[in-house]
Amino acid sequence: MTNTERAHLALTHRLYVSGWSLSSILTRVRAGFDHSDVVLHWADGKPVGVLVITQERNAAQQRLVHIFVKKAYRGHGIAKTLLANMPADQLYAGPGITGSKTFWAKHGIQYQDISTF
């Protein structure tokens, strides 16, 4: 399955918060305008989580990472599973839902406030 196909599934299954940047990134990937890496987590025969690593880099040359897991599946280690084998020192994250800053720190991923993007 290609990144384009995974982005389409993520959008179809609403694996994003409306109005936040992840939905527009997935839309650009689906259209072929963005070459971000898209990874899906499946449960109960459908995608319930998505990890997107963009080509966008900060001053330290780290790539921006986004994760979304459907509410009903949160707290079961899906985000941790999506991050497994990802190079934490090469990634950074921005604002998210309550608790996301703590999640990123726990997994060794640098958090950057949106004002520094």
Q: What is the DSSP string of 60-104?
A: T-PEEEEEEE-GGGTTSSHHHHHHTT--GGGEEE---STTHHHHH
pLDDT at position 116 is 44
Return d(Cα 85, Cα 58) in angstroms, integer.
21
pLDDT at position 26 is 97
Residues 49-108 have pLDDT tens digits of 999 999 888 888 889 999 999 999 999 999 999 999 888 889 989 888 888 889 999 998
Closest C-alpha among 69, 58, 76 to residue 97: 69
List domains and CATH numbers for the chain: 3-116 (3.40.630.30)
Residues 1-52 have pLDDT tens digits of 999 999 999 999 999 999 888 999 999 999 999 999 999 999 999 999 999 9
Q: 């966008």: which residue's tokens?
A: 56
